[in-house]
Amino acid sequence: MRTRSLFFASLFVSLSCRSVPTAPLESTFIPEDASVGVTDVGLFGLVSRYWAWQLEQRPIFATTIGVRAYDARIDDNSSIGIAAYRRGLAMFIEEARAIDAEGLPARDRTTLLLLLEDLEAEHGSAVCEFERWSLSPRGNPVTEWSYLPELHPLSGRADLEPLVRRVSAIGASIDNEAANLESGAKDGLFANRESTRRVIEIVEKQLRDKDEDWPLITNVKTVPEDAALLREAQSQILPLVRDGVRPALTRYLGVLRDTVLPGARSEAQSGVSALPHGAACYASQVRRHTSLQLPASEIHELGLSEIARIDEEIRSLGERLFQTKTLEETLSRLRSDPSLYFEDEAGVEEKAKAALAEAKAAMPRFFHTVPKTDCVVTRIPDYEAPYTTIAYYRPPIPGEKLGEYFINVHAPTTRPRYEAAALAYHEAIPGHHLQIAIAQELPALPAFRKHLGLNVFVEGWALYTERLADEMGLYASDLDRMGMLSYDAWRAARLVVDTGLHAFGWSRAQAKAFMLAHTALAANNIDNEVDRYIVWPGQALGYKLGQLEIWKLRRQAEQALGERFSLPLFHDAVLTQGAVSLEVLRAQVETFISSNEAGKAP
C-alpha cells in the first residue's frame, strides 16, 4: 500500500517543482487533527509540527487525504529538495529521541514509538538513493501524472487553478527525474534492463498519442457535469501538455535510451545486491517494510518452510478437485484449462463486483467496527494495465472520494476465475478497504497514525483476511479455495524470491522459475510480479510476515480466553489503533487478552 505504507502515496515520493522551506520544522498550517489524543505537551508539539511538515513537503499526498491547503503545489524531487527533506527527517528523529518514552502515558508512548519507527525507517532508506537509479513500470512520469486530474474533480472554476498550476509544474518535475538518473549513472548506479525497457515502452506509447488524448486531458472531470467548465479546463491544460509536459517527457525518454539503457544491469544482476550499497540498502528496506530487523537468510528459510506446507495443501485439494496426483499436475491443470479463466473483460469486472457485494453483506457478523465510507470497483486504465499487477487498492479521500478496488481486465483469458474471490477480499473487503477506511475514521488518534502506517500491518492484514474469508463463508466452492491457497503460496514465495533477488544474487529467470513451480499464477502475472519485486525491494516481505503474526496473536488470544474469545472484538483490538508495528500490535493483543481475562468470574 505504501512504501510508507500506502502505495498511492509512494507513487509521488519523487515528484517536484517548488522550493523547500528554509526552516523545515516550522509551518504556518497545522491541521486540526494533527495531534488528536496526544496529552503530553512536548509530544503534542512534536507530532503537530511533524504532520504539518509532512503535508507541506508532500502536497500531493496531502490532496489524497483531503487536505487541500497545498493543492497548487507538487513535491520537490530535485537533488537539493530531497537532501533538505532528509535533513528534516533527521531533525525530527533527534527531537523524538530526546523525549523520555517511559515517562509518557501508555497511549502517548505508543504514538512516540510509532513516530520514531516511521521516521527512522524512512530516513534509513536514504542509503538506497532510489531517486538516482530506480525505474518502475508502476511508478513513472506516465503512470503517476496520468492520475492527477482524478484528484481534482472540478465543482467550479475556482477548482481549476490548482490543477492548472500543478500541470504547469510537471515538465520541471520530469526534468528533475532525468537529472537524478543522469547523476546516478555517473556513479555507476543503474536500474535493471527489463524494468528500463518497460518504462521506455510506456513512455514511447504515451508520446505516440495525440496531446488531446493524454490522460491529463481525458481524465479531467467536473462534478456535477458541466460541459462549459470541462471545455475550459481542457483548453487551459492542453497547451501545458503540448509545450511543457510532452517536451520534458521526450527529454526523459532520451536519458533512458542514451544513458540508462546502455548501462542497465543485466537480468542476472536484477537485485540491489548488484549495487555498491546493496547490502545496506536491502537491510534498510527489510526494516522499512516489516518493522523488523531480520537477516535475509532467516526470512528466506521461513519462506521455504511456508511454501512446503502450502504446496501440500494445494496438492491435496487438487487431488479432490481434479483427481491429479502431484503438485505439478495440479498447477498445470490450473494454468492450462480454459474453462478456469474468464472469457471477456466484463466477466472479470462482474466477478469482482459480486465478490465485493457478498463480503459487504457478511461483515456485521465478524466485525464490530465497520467503516462508513464505501468501496467501489474500477478498471485499471488501459495505459497501465499491460505492465502492472492484477489489482490494487486506492484509499478514500475523506469526504470526497470512495475507496477504489482497481481490477486489471487486460487479456481477460489469462485471468483465472478461481483467484478472483480471494483477490477481491484482499484488496477491498475485508482487506485493504476495511482496514484503511476504519483507520481514516478513527476519532481519537493523531493524523499520522490514521493516514500513514506500516506495510507489514497493512499487507499482513489483507493477507490474513483471505483465509478469514473462508470462515465467513465467502468461498462458494473448493475451486475458490484453491485460489486462496494459490495466493497464500504466492505470498510465501515472495519471502523466497525477494530475498533471493536482493540478498543472494538470484537472476530474474530464477525468480520466475520458482514462482512457476510453486504458485498457480499465470506466466504474464509472474513476469509483472517479479518486475515489481525487483524495483520495490523488501515491500513483498510484509504480507506473509504480517499475516503470520496476526494469526499467531489470534491463536494466542483464543487459547487464553476460551469461550470468552470474541472474534469481532479481537478484530477491534487489531484494527482500531491504525496500521501499527508488529511490536505495538503484540502489546495491543496482550492488552485485549488481559482486559478480558480480568472479567472472568472467580
Q: Could you read off the pLDDT of 449-476 as tens digits, one per residue?
A: 999 889 999 999 999 999 999 999 999 9
* Average pLDDT over every residue of 358-370: 96
The pLDDT score that the predictor gives to residue 316 is 97
* pLDDT, the chain, mean: 92
226-247 pLDDT tens trace: 999 999 999 999 999 999 999 9
The C-alpha cell at 282 is 536491502
Question: Measuring CA to CA, which residue among 590, 597, 594 is closest to residue 552?
Answer: 590
Predicted confidence band of residue 8 (pLDDT cuts 50, 70, 90) = very low
Asked whether the predicted pLDDT for residue 27 surpasses 60, the reply is: no
Phi-psi region of 506 (alpha: psi -120 to 50; beta: other; left: phi over 0): beta
Task: Note if the pTM is more than 0.85.
Answer: yes
The pLDDT score that the predictor gives to residue 524 is 83
* Average pLDDT over every residue of 85-91: 97
The C-alpha cell at 581 is 508495528
The pLDDT score that the predictor gives to residue 16 is 31
Q: Which helix (H) or strand (E) holds 570?
A: helix 567-575
The pLDDT score that the predictor gives to residue 11 is 33
The pLDDT score that the predictor gives to residue 399 is 82
The pLDDT score that the predictor gives to residue 447 is 95
Question: Measuring CA to CA, which residue among 530, 545, 524 is closest to residue 498?
Answer: 530
Question: Measuring CA to CA, which residue among 177, 127, 245, 184 is closest to residue 16?
Answer: 177
Asked whether the predicted pLDDT for residue 168 surpasses 90, the reply is: yes
End-to-end alpha carbon distance in the chain: 46
Backbone angles phi, psi at 536, to 5 degrees: -130, 65
* Average pLDDT over every residue of 562-573: 97
Question: 157 near 236, Cβ under 8 Å?
Answer: no
The pLDDT score that the predictor gives to residue 215 is 95
Burial class (CB in 10 A: 0-12, 13-18, 19+), 254: exposed
- Say whether the peptide bond before residue 224 is cis (omega within 30 degrees of 0): yes
Predicted confidence band of residue 286 (pLDDT cuts 50, 70, 90) = very high
315-354 pLDDT tens trace: 999 999 999 999 999 999 999 999 999 999 999 999 999 9
374-427 pLDDT tens trace: 999 999 998 888 888 889 999 998 888 899 999 999 999 999 999 999 999 999
